[in-house]
């Protein structure tokens, strides 16, 4: 590489540039007059800063102090600097600042809600549900202690960016018939303002809410987005924060009637279009924002706040929604609604907005069973009996309805048990020919009118009911804080002993209903598994089903014991009673309904009758014959 050196021309250039800079600095020195003016300006700035440090209580101004509210401020007091600075900061909305009455909140209430609306920001800063208390008998507050953020962000034509939660609204409380109407106005003048209008009906959890502006078309910059931001941290209300957090979830309806949810665990973000409503659900209580016309776009986020149940004890999840608002002829005009109340399907249905779909009844067939069968049935029974008794009666009804399915399953097992000796003979006879062994086995099943699948299908039919009830009990608002026997709250776990330590998964307490349910399922599986093992023929090369089922006898009760210890005691009560009833039904079927000798005689008669194969059996037979023919052809080629 060629070495670069400074030549004489470069040195001369640097010297000339340095000399020019020195000359320019000398000629641009401030004159004595300019130095004096700078010193005076600094002194004035210090005095202005000292005045700015005075509290807002020292600032007194009236509407008459403003000569032209939209542009200039003329103040008669000595605090003119503060007013000028205020107008420089928020422009025309400085007029609204002058109307502050010194009160922090304006309160409205009905029979079910108490609301505090903050004058600074105009938003609802406290929501108390009068008819409910939490696990410690403390009134339920959905909003309190700054766990919410509500703000409209917009640009102005004089190049400012304003946030309504930092500006003062003037409250006016009036009556509209039986309804209370609270108008919160952020004023530019008496005829120009941004208004939040709240309307509260008697005994209603839904609050009418409108965002409107008047005379602001030349103040709000229509070329910039006007954005509504709503955030909420879900306050803990239940005995177990992790259990409550499991059913705390942001849910929304969009693109017609589509219901979607953000992640149940962890953090999640989503951008959706045509949103009709969004629900900040906190298990048994919800804060829901509705709109007459769908929001074109909404940015949604959910953050999990329970990473450690022993440390994170105050809040469950943090929700946020960012919604661009549309201007109409330069003005805002949004008709909305805000629901603060129980996550109760009967209450939410009253609003005819599909809000009950925010409750996690289960997807597909499971949700359909809950909404159309279990919720109406339990509602009817709980109107007659105490809630614990209603669960028991409902369990009896469900088991009686499913008893034919249980009978079919037991009958299938009995048939398989009777055929087992003949299946064993076939296995021995064709142990070297799997194809023929399978063909003979299927032929025997067909002639005798038995099928190994007929015992599985009834069990599969019960799965939708099992899962639907698994979703029903933890979300049934009617069970909240309803006691039964030793359980104080059927919607939460029952406790008979507190542990001095925490066991992973199990928890720091002992619940009795899961123990009883585990014992019942142990004896139920002991009965059913023994019969299944006795009815299942052993085949060469297949795993020993007997050993696997014996392990399940112990594994299932232990899993229920650990998993259900933190679940709703109403659910454990249901499974305990359900398994007891099932055991009773099976004993009746075995001892008083089914006669294995008669079943055996009938199966022998069926063998003598010509039996036409169904499509499935015919297809299976053809496939087996083709496979056998291919195998024979391969053997010939090898020879």
Q: 587-618: per-residue pLDDT in tens?
A: 887 777 766 666 666 666 665 555 555 565 56
The 3-state secondary structure of 77-120, one letter per residue? CCCHHHHHHHHHHHHHHHHHHCCCCCCCEEEEECCCEEEEEECE
Give me the pLDDT at residue 195, please: 94
> Which residue is it, tokens 């030549």?
7
> Which residue is it, tokens 């900061």?
89
HSE, side-chain direction, 13 A CA sphere, residue 566: 20
d(CA 627, CA 582): 43
Rg of the chain in Å (alpha carbons): 38
For residue range 425-469, list pLDDT tens digits in order: 777 767 666 777 777 767 666 666 566 665 566 567 778 888 888
Transcribe 244-303 into DSSP letters.
HHHTEEEEEEETTTEEEE--SSS-EEEEEEEEEEEEEEETTEEEEEEEEEEEEEEEEEEE
Between the alpha carbon of residue 452 and those of residues 28, 394, 455, 457, 608, the distances in Å are 103, 32, 6, 10, 21
Domain ranges of the chain: 56-98, 105-360, 372-608
Letter string b/e over residues 523-557, b meaning 16 or more CB atoms within 10 A of that residue's CB: ebbebbbebbbebbbebeeeeeeeeebbeebeebb
- Cβ-Cβ contacts under 8 Å for 33 (sequence gap 6 or more): none
Transcribe 176-241 into DSSP letters.
ETTEEEEEEEEESSSS-EEEEEEEE-TT-SEEEEEEEEES-TTTB-TTS-EEEEEEEEEEP-SS-H
pTM (two decimals):
0.74
d(CA 437, CA 420): 14
Give me the pLDDT at residue 53, please: 40
Give me the pLDDT at residue 89, please: 59
d(CA 552, CA 546): 10
Residue 532: closest CA among 413, 636, 624, 366? 413
Give me the pLDDT at residue 76, please: 38
Give me the pLDDT at residue 521, please: 87
pLDDT along the chain (639 residues), means of 10: 45 54 52 56 49 37 34 40 58 71 86 94 94 90 93 89 90 90 91 94 94 91 91 91 90 92 91 95 94 94 87 89 92 94 93 92 87 90 92 91 78 71 71 70 64 62 82 89 89 88 83 91 77 50 55 80 87 90 83 67 62 59 64 64
Give me the pLDDT at residue 108, please: 94
Q: What is the CATH number of domain 105-360?
A: 2.70.98.90
């Amino acid at each position: 590489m060629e070495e670069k050196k400074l030549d004489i021309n470069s040195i001369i250039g640097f010297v000339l540039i340095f000399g020019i800079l020195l000359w320019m600095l000398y000629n641009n020195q401030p004159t004595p007059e300019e130095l004096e003016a700078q010193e005076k300006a600094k002194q004035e700035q210090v005095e202005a800063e000292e005045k700015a440090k005075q509290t807002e209580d020292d600032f007194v101004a009236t509407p008459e102090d403003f000569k032209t509210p939209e542009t200039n401020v003329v103040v008669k007091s000595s605090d003119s600097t503060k007013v000028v600075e205020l107008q420089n900061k928020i422009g025309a909305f400085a007029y609204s600042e002058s109307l502050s009455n010194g009160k922090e909140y304006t309160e409205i209430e009905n029979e079910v809600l108490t609301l505090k609306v903050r004058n600074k920001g105009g938003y609802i800063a406290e929501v108390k549900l009068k008819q409910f208390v939490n696990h410690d008998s403390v009134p339920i507050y959905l909003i309190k202690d700054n766990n919410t953020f509500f703000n409209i962000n917009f640009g102005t034509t004089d190049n400012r960016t304003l946030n309504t939660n930092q500006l003062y609204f003037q409250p006016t409380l009036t009556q509209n018939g039986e309804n209370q109407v609270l108008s919160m106005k952020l004023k530019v003048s008496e005829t120009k303002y941004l208004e939040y209008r709240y309307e509260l009906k008697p005994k209603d959890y839904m609050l009418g809410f409108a965002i409107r502006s008047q005379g602001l078309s030349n103040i709000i910059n229509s070329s910039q987005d006007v954005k509504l931001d709503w955030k909420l941290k879900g306050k803990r209300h239940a005995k177990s924060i992790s259990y409550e957090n499991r059913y705390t979830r942001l849910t929304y309806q969009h693109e017609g009637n589509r219901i979607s949810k953000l992640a149940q665990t962890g953090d999640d973000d989503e951008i959706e279009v045509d949103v009709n409503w969004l629900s900040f659900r906190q298990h048994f209580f919800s804060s829901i924002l509705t709109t007459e016309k769908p929001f074109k776009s909404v940015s949604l986020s959910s953050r999990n706040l329970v990473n450690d149940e022993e440390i994170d004890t105050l809040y469950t999840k943090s929700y946020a929604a960012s919604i661009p608002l549309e201007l109409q002829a330069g003005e805002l005009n949004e008709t909305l609604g805000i629901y603060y109340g129980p996550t109760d399907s009967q209450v939410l249905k009253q609003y005819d907005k599909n809000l009950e779909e925010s409750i996690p009844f289960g997807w597909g067939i499971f949700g359909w069973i809950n909404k159309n069968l279990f919720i109406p049935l339990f509602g009817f029974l709980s109107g007659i009996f105490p809630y614990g008794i209603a669960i028991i009666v409902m369990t009896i009804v469900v088991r009686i309805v499913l008893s034919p399915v249980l009978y079919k399953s037991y009958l299938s097992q009995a048939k398989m048990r009777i055929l087992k000796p003949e299946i064993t003979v076939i296995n021995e006879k064709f142990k070297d020919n799997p194809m023929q062994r399978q063909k003979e086995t299927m032929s025997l099943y067909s002639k005798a009118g038995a099928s190994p699948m007929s015992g599985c299908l009834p069990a599969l039919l019960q799965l939708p009911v099992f899962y639907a009830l698994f979703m029903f009990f933890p979300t049934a608002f009617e069970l909240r804080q309803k006691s039964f026997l030793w359980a104080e709250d059927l919607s939460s776990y029952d406790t008979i002993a507190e542990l001095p330590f925490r066991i992973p998964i199990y928890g720091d307490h002992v619940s009795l209903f899961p123990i009883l349910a585990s014992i019942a399922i142990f004896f139920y599986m002991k009965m059913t598994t023994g019969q299944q093992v006795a009815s299942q023929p052993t085949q060469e090369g297949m795993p020993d089903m007997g050993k696997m089922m014996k392990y399940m006898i112990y594994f299932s009760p232990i899993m229920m014991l650990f998993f259900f210890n933190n679940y709703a005691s109403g659910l454990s009560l249901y499974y305990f009673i359900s398994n007891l009833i099932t055991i009773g039904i099976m004993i009746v079927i075995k001892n008083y309904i089914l006669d294995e000798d008669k079943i055996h005689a009938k199966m022998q008669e069926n063998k003598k009758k010509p039996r036409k194969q169904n499509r499935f059996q015919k297809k299976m037979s053809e496939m087996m014959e083709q496979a056998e023919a291919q195998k024979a052809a391969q053997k010939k080629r090898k020879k």
